[in-house]
Amino acid sequence: MLLSGHSSLTYSMAGSFPLTTCLSPAVHNMVCLLGFEVQSSIEIRSLIDKDNQVCWSQICEQVSYLPSGEELDYIECVRNLGPMCDAVHTHFMSVPNENLKEAFHVWFQWTNNCELFLHALDSLKSLDGTKISLLLMKMTSCLERTLGDVYLLISKDCPFLLRDLLLSKELAKIFSQPVMDVLRIFLGSPQSLNLRNILWHGFVSPHEIPPKYFSMILLLTAGLGQLLQSWLTDNGKSLVHRPYIVFSNLQEITIFPDLNEKLLSFTERLIEKSAFVLGNMVPFWMEAINAFREDRFADCATFLLPQLETGLRLAFCTVNECPDRMLTAESTSLYTTFDEILAKHLNDGSPNRLPGVLGESTMEFLWDMLNHQEGPRVRDHLSHGEIQLCKFPKQFACELLGFSIVLLHKHLEQDSFDKEDIAVLYPIIDAVGSYRSRFHPIALVQNQALKCCESLQKWDFLPVPSLGHPSKTTELQDNMDPSLSFFTETRKILSLLHLQGTAFFTTEDCWTDKWIFFIIELCRKSVSNLYCPRMVLEAVGVLRKISIQCHQVSENIVSTSKLRYEQWQSKLLRSRQRENYQRFLFSIKSLSPVLRLIVTIVIVDLHNIHSLPEKANLEYQKYLKYLKCILQYTENMSTCTSSEKNRWDEAIHLTSRIILKITAFNENNKVV
């Protein structure tokens, strides 16, 4: 369990897992040994001709199939391709970098990231396992993205997973099936080398990827570029790359101050002592710190994300007493990845103990950063090549590193450092400890309700002209719906809500400035959001749609008011438009309390949302139907109040009807 304050975890993981590798025996054999079993000399000109064209036929000849003839024999394939990988690697190591760049520059252009692959050629000769691993992660994610662009040349709805992409008939049509089978040997199946997945999921240490596979991926990438160019020429097409993801929510996820050198230096000491880090993974952590120092923010995140997964997997295996799950799974089962690490239950249905150990705020940060659909989902976007690496936001690198530092600290043994040393961590520890979700559907409803309240506040300051002609204005009021004023009805409904036990303000406050302060207080009040049942998420989804439409109605009225006032003052309105404007001014006096009422209902219901699973299905369905009636009203109101429609009589009529429905439901069927 977590201790209070700035204490660390009371359990230790270091002694439980004296691991030298996270690769299971079969996977270790596949990646580290199998490709070295056959020792034979391959003439490089049989693989790359004098014009630097890749000889795919020679490579594809080494692909073996099981007796059925339909599935690859991955063991035999890796064994046979080993000598070819040796030949390619030896050639690349012997040729000057400038010559290699000149030979392959044009054939890397199709990746939309030529600089990455040219930089990989430069880094190859260092034989630095940490750099090779980093570049392989970046290259494979880039390849996945670009292969998806190629897929879209002849089809739609590109597969999300690289494995499915490599199995597609569309890519086989462009590159040929044998070529796609070669790629599957290196990248596309848990039964294969599976380089992309074992790297991105943090199973591989820096020394475990043979550099010759790095060289082979470079050659295959150039060869794919050559094949693609021929196909594009023959078919009169050009490759169009999908735009990169542009993040619009950077400020919403920012919780840490800039990480200064003092903190970074202390973090290097933490890495050496924290049980969150496996000994063979220390170089990755150290390089993440260096990358951040050098403003290489994409590299920092690429190092950190797999190591976060490895550290959390280690914690998961410790608290759930399943040490075997630290290793890569065999082909018959799935890897233990973030999805399972953060889940509520284990595969056998027993509770996952890790969320209780990490604490709710830590879990909310992880879900926000990695999982929620409207959050940054930085791991998915980065690993699938959807982010332009040179423009990776510093904020995300800062958040990932700051959060990682907190986890390093949580997994320290007691008294590993003096209190004076640890004090440098307190600001970021406190930031995580007080974190609340920004991107869970419940948090999104709260945020949307606040936006709606801010918009409704503007109504108090809308410009109103002197209408004149008292007899005419009286006639307009008399001709409008008799339920023009809804104050009595809304007071009655609010009193019913108070009877539900949510008496944060009086009914009279709803028509004053106090209302906004009470709503802000309610929106800031925490609502549990981890592992919400389906019916809760379904209802929350409707509440959010209601608040979005309410906001739209309010913004419609604000913009219409400003425009019509300017036109009135400038005497640009025709007679019918002036009459409609007067109807508008009378209508908004009645609509204001109703919209405030609906926002109040949204927030009150949100705070009681977790009572839904206790209700019978019939009660729940009645409640959902009630919410959808309100949603339909707000959608219709959004249309009626738009600048194109201006249907104020219809708006009043719709409002009369929804008031009756809300009143009836709250008197008889309230379930939340």
List the one residue out of 341, 315, 313 whose CA is nearest residue 327.
313
Spatial separation of the C-alpha atoms in residues 372 and 532, rounded to whole Å: 13
Report, as an integer, the average pLDDT of 287-298: 97
Question: Within this chain, do residues 260 and 408 fall inside the same structural domain, yes or no?
Answer: yes
Where among 235, 260, 291 does a domain terminate?
Answer: 235
Residue 377 pLDDT: 94
For residues 194-217, b (16+ Cβ closer than 10 Å) or e, as one string? bbbbbbbbbbbbbebbbbbbbbbb
Give CA 588 to chain center in angstroms. 40
Question: Within this chain, do residues 421 and 316 fall inside the same structural domain, yes or no?
Answer: yes
Report, as an integer, the average pLDDT of 317-330: 87
Is a pLDDT exceeding 80 seen at residue 424?
yes
| pLDDT tens digit sequence for 385-409 | 999 999 999 999 999 999 999 999 9
Residue 136 pLDDT: 97
* Tokens found for residue 99: 């010559």
Give CA 503 to chain center in angstroms. 37
- Widest CA span in the chain: 104
Residue 7 lies in a domain: no
Report, as an integer, the average pLDDT of 56-75: 92
Report, as an integer, the average pLDDT of 526-546: 95
Residue 506 pLDDT: 58
Where among 181, 211, 235 does a domain terminate?
Answer: 235
Is a pLDDT exceeding 80 seen at residue 541?
yes
List the one residue out of 195, 193, 199, 187 whose CA is nearest residue 306.
199
Residue 241 lies in a domain: no
Is a pLDDT exceeding 60 seen at residue 570?
yes
| pLDDT tens digit sequence for 454-474 | 999 899 889 888 765 544 444
Measure Cα distances from 84 to 37, 44, 99, 217, 290 in Å.
12, 8, 21, 12, 35
- Please, what sign has the CA dihedral across residues 503, 509, 513, 516? positive
Residue 103 pLDDT: 93
Is a pLDDT exceeding 50 seen at residue 640?
yes
Where among 235, 264, 290 does a domain terminate?
Answer: 235
Q: Which residues, 6+ apart, have CB-to-CB distance to 279 below 8 Å?
A: none
Question: Within this chain, do residues 218 and 263 fall inside the same structural domain, yes or no?
Answer: no
Helix, strand counts (H, E) of the chain: 30, 0
Spatial separation of the C-alpha atoms in residues 497 and 515, rounded to whole Å: 15
Is a pLDDT exceeding 80 seen at residue 13?
no
* Tokens found for residue 152: 């879209």
- Please, what sign has the CA dihedral across residues 250, 255, 257, 261? negative
Residue 9 lies in a domain: no
Confidence band for 14, pLDDT divided at 50, 70 and 90 = very low
Confidence band for 479, pLDDT divided at 50, 70 and 90 = very low
Question: Within this chain, do residues 507 and 636 fall inside the same structural domain, yes or no?
Answer: yes
Question: Within this chain, do residues 204 and 268 fall inside the same structural domain, yes or no?
Answer: no
Residue 589 pLDDT: 81
Is a pLDDT exceeding 70 seen at residue 7?
no
Question: Percent of the chain scored above 90 by pLDDT?
Answer: 68
Q: What SS3 string covers 489-552? A: HHHHHHHHHHHCCCCCCCCHHHHCCHHHHHHHHHHHCCCCCCCCCHHHHHHHHHHHHHHHHHHH
Residue 12 lies in a domain: no
Choice between 264 and 12, residue whose per-residue pLDDT is larger: 264
> Residue 352 in contact with residue 320, Cβ under 8 Å?
yes
Question: Within this chain, do residues 263 and 281 fall inside the same structural domain, yes or no?
Answer: yes
Report, as an integer, the average pLDDT of 190-198: 93
Question: Within this chain, do residues 317 and 292 fall inside the same structural domain, yes or no?
Answer: yes
Is a pLDDT exceeding 50 seen at residue 410?
yes
Question: Within this chain, do residues 103 and 199 fall inside the same structural domain, yes or no?
Answer: yes
Mean pLDDT of all residues belonging to the chain? 88
Look at the chain and report how many structural domains it folds into: 3
SS3 65: strand
Question: Within this chain, do residues 72 and 204 fall inside the same structural domain, yes or no?
Answer: yes
Alpha helices in 570-616, H assignment, sequence order: 575-607
* Tokens found for residue 340: 């399972």
- The residue segments making up the domain with residue 451 are 441-668
Residue 177 lies in a domain: yes
Question: Within this chain, do residues 139 and 286 fall inside the same structural domain, yes or no?
Answer: no
Confidence band for 17, pLDDT divided at 50, 70 and 90 = very low
Residue 325 lies in a domain: yes
Residue 486 pLDDT: 64
Question: Within this chain, do residues 429 and 461 fall inside the same structural domain, yes or no?
Answer: no
Residue 14 lies in a domain: no
Residue 61 lies in a domain: yes
> Residue 480 in contact with residue 653, Cβ under 8 Å?
no
Residue 483 pLDDT: 44
Question: Within this chain, do residues 569 and 625 fall inside the same structural domain, yes or no?
Answer: yes
Report, as an integer, the average pLDDT of 548-558: 96
| pLDDT tens digit sequence for 139-176 | 999 999 999 999 999 999 999 889 999 999 999 999 99
Is a pLDDT exceeding 70 seen at residue 312?
yes
Residue 672 pLDDT: 47
Residue 213 pLDDT: 97
Report, as an integer, the average pLDDT of 213-227: 98
